[in-house]
Chains A and B, each alone.
Chain A
Amino acid sequence: MEKLQILWQSTALPHFEMGQIIMMLVGFGLLYLAIVKKFEPLLLLPIGFGALLTNIPLAGFSEVGGLLHYIYYIGVDTGVFPLLIFMGVGAMTDFGALIANPKTLLLGAAAQFGIFATLFGAIALNAVPGFEFSLQDAAAIAIIGGADGPTAIFLASKLAPELLGAIAVAAYSYMALVPIIQPPIMNALTTPQERKIQMNQLRVVTKREKIIFPLAVLFLTILFLPSASPLVGMFCLGNLMKESGVVDRLSNTAQNELINIVTIFLGLAVGSKLSSEAFLTVETLGILGLGAVAFSIGTGAGVIMAKILAKFSKEPINPLIGAAGVSAVPMAARVVNKVGLEANPHNFLLMHAMGPNVAGVLGSAVAAGILLALVG
């Protein structure tokens, strides 16, 4: 009888807590979104599975000595994983459209308004009982508006590690929801005539310009915003490897094998932060809500900036491309193309939207650098 008691005690059943069960359901929910709905499956699948593993009673995956504890400690706590991912993203990015039409950098800048407005909103939310966001927390939440997963994780790991799980889940969920969130905002802020505007074909950009560009970005970051240099530096390294054309092997590794390996571990590490005590709070609800607001404001600010730019520009500018200023490469640009095609079936905005889209990646990295410098 006593043996039976010991055996019973060694199973998970008597040790399950309510919170763990709920968090496992959340993990299953993320797996469902990834597998059935195909929402950012590359990240939500490992995150969901990590959430399952970390909530297993007695297994201790996320305690000292556990696998997920060390993966988190090595990769996310230090900020190494998001930076490696950023290098891979840099190696996949083509700045051609941006160099051909540098004005679109302003659209990438305007869309960062979502980040800073949300920072204000997060602090304002403290007026509601139950919320106590410090300025650091608010900054980490606000970066969801940058629509850039690695940047959000990097900043959250530096400023508010206890909120990292919720912030990463919110960031990647909203990135997957870009095709649903953005079009209503874009349609509300533009007239059908504006959506029909066709833009001039972009000029061909020489290889030299593409090689000098990442070096110029790095140089400016070193001069004016060294706190952004981890993100921008790794991004530019990846981009230079691609554009220089002399290290194709390294470039291919950065944008394929390395980014895939790191993605597995990053997802698991983020999932390990989905424990009931950290996730089942009102603050998580606040983070999810603020994330959606950040995203919407960023999209709107980009579109409005594009309209202002169109007033001063001699070349026609379709205001829809401003919505691509939130990074979310290349999803946001594809959404712009789709909405443009709905208004005018002969209007292909994809290449024009890639300019503000990659500008948004730079913009959110710069915004992260500013937040790190001012709040961190």
Chain B
Amino acid sequence: MNTPTMSEQLLEAASLLMIGMLTVFIFLSVLIISVKLITKFVEVFPEPEATTHQPARPAPAVSSQAVNAQASASVSNQKDVITAITHAVTAYRQTNQPSSK
């Protein structure tokens, strides 16, 4: 009496096993592709304001003029440093990308 329902249930559980694993794999595979697309997108459109925006932020917070002048000097200094680093990083990426792929 109990056996047919039992085997039916087992069959259903087995089909759940197949469908479930398949869906998990497909979903996460699509996610892998989208992560790679995001990485490509970010490479094509690098953060342009990041180099100018972030160092500029501390300047408005300073109130006194003398400190302001100092700050703007340091900001331009920082800008130089950041452009130098950016160049170095892009150069490094250009030389290293073929080997990593």
Contact segment of A15-23, A40-48, A333-341, A360-368: A360-368
Assess the B16–A116 pair: CB atoms within 8 A.
yes
Whole-angstrom CA separation of A105 from B32 in the bound complex: 7
- Considering the complex, which residues of chain A in the window 203-235 have a beta carbon less than 8 Å from any beta carbon of chain B? 206-209, 212-213, 216-217, 220, 224-225
Assess the A220–B42 pair: CB atoms within 8 A.
no
Assess the A135–B9 pair: CB atoms within 8 A.
yes
B42 CB to nearest chain A CB (Å): 5
Whole-angstrom CA separation of A217 from B41 in the bound complex: 16
Assess the A225–B21 pair: CB atoms within 8 A.
no
B6 within 8 A of A: yes
Assess the B24–A363 pair: CB atoms within 8 A.
yes
Q: Given the complex, which residues of A lie within 8 Å of B16, measured CB to CB?
A: 116, 119-120, 135, 139, 371, 374-375
Assess the A105–B28 pair: CB atoms within 8 A.
yes
Q: Given the complex, which residues of B lie within 8 Å of A98, measured CB to CB?
A: 35
A39 within 8 A of B: no
Assess the B35–A102 pair: CB atoms within 8 A.
yes
Assess the B24–A135 pair: CB atoms within 8 A.
no
Assess the A124–B35 pair: CB atoms within 8 A.
no
- Considering the complex, which residues of chain B in the window 25-42 have a beta carbon less than 8 Å from any beta carbon of chain A? 25, 27-32, 34-36, 38-39, 41-42
Assess the B13–A120 pair: CB atoms within 8 A.
yes
Whole-angstrom CA separation of A315 from B65 in the bound complex: 55
Assess the B27–A120 pair: CB atoms within 8 A.
no
A26 within 8 A of B: no
Whole-angstrom CA separation of A116 from B21 in the bound complex: 7
Assess the B39–A209 pair: CB atoms within 8 A.
yes
Assess the A216–B28 pair: CB atoms within 8 A.
no
A106-B21 contact given A99-B35, A116-B16, A123-B13, CB 8 Å threshold:
no
- Considering the complex, which residues of chain A in the window 249-265 have a beta carbon less than 8 Å from any beta carbon of chain B? none
Whole-angstrom CA separation of A246 from B17 in the bound complex: 42
B69 CB to nearest chain A CB (Å): 29
Q: Given the complex, which residues of A lie within 8 Å of B41, measured CB to CB?
A: 212
Assess the A370–B28 pair: CB atoms within 8 A.
no
B27 contact from A207, A212, A224, Cβ within 8 A: A224
- Considering the complex, which residues of chain B in the window 1-52 have a beta carbon less than 8 Å from any beta carbon of chain A? 6, 9-10, 12-14, 16-17, 19-21, 23-25, 27-32, 34-36, 38-39, 41-42, 46-47
Query: Which residue of chain B is the closest to A127 with respect to CB atoms?
Result: B6
**Interface residues of chain B: helix, strand, loop or mixed (majority):** helix
- Considering the complex, which residues of chain A in the window 343-376 have a beta carbon less than 8 Å from any beta carbon of chain B? 359, 362-363, 366-367, 370-371, 374-375
| Chain A 101-133: CB-based contact to B (< 8 A → 1; otherwise 0) | 011011011001101110110111011000000
Assess the B35–A216 pair: CB atoms within 8 A.
yes
B97 CB to nearest chain A CB (Å): 10
A62 CB to nearest chain B CB (Å): 32
Assess the A102–B9 pair: CB atoms within 8 A.
no
Whole-angstrom CA separation of A126 from B12 in the bound complex: 14
A374 contact from B6, B20, B39, Cβ within 8 A: B20
Assess the A213–B38 pair: CB atoms within 8 A.
yes
Whole-angstrom CA separation of A108 from B28 in the bound complex: 8
Q: Given the complex, which residues of A lie within 8 Å of B19, measured CB to CB?
A: 370, 374
Assess the A106–B34 pair: CB atoms within 8 A.
no
Assess the B30–A220 pair: CB atoms within 8 A.
yes
Whole-angstrom CA separation of A375 from B13 in the bound complex: 10
- Given A108-B28, A362-B28, output 16 extra A-B contacts at Cβ < 8 Å: A109-B24, A113-B21, A116-B21, A119-B20, A120-B17, A123-B10, A123-B12, A124-B10, A126-B9, A135-B13, A135-B16, A206-B42, A209-B42, A217-B31, A366-B23, A371-B16
Which residues of A are in contact with B by a Cβ distance under 8 Å? 98-99, 102-103, 105-106, 108-109, 112-113, 115-117, 119-120, 122-124, 126-127, 135, 138-139, 206-209, 212-213, 216-217, 220, 224-225, 359, 362-363, 366-367, 370-371, 374-375
Q: Please provide the 3 A-B residue pairs with the shortest distance between their CB atoms, ordered closest to farther.
A: A102-B35, A116-B17, A123-B13
Would you list 25 pairs from A and B whose C-beta atoms are within 8 A, ordered by A residue? A99-B35, A99-B38, A106-B32, A109-B21, A109-B25, A112-B20, A115-B20, A116-B21, A119-B20, A120-B13, A120-B17, A123-B12, A135-B9, A135-B12, A206-B42, A208-B42, A212-B38, A216-B34, A216-B35, A217-B31, A220-B27, A359-B28, A363-B24, A363-B28, A370-B24
Which residues of B are in contact with A by a Cβ distance under 8 Å? 6, 9-10, 12-14, 16-17, 19-21, 23-25, 27-32, 34-36, 38-39, 41-42, 46-47
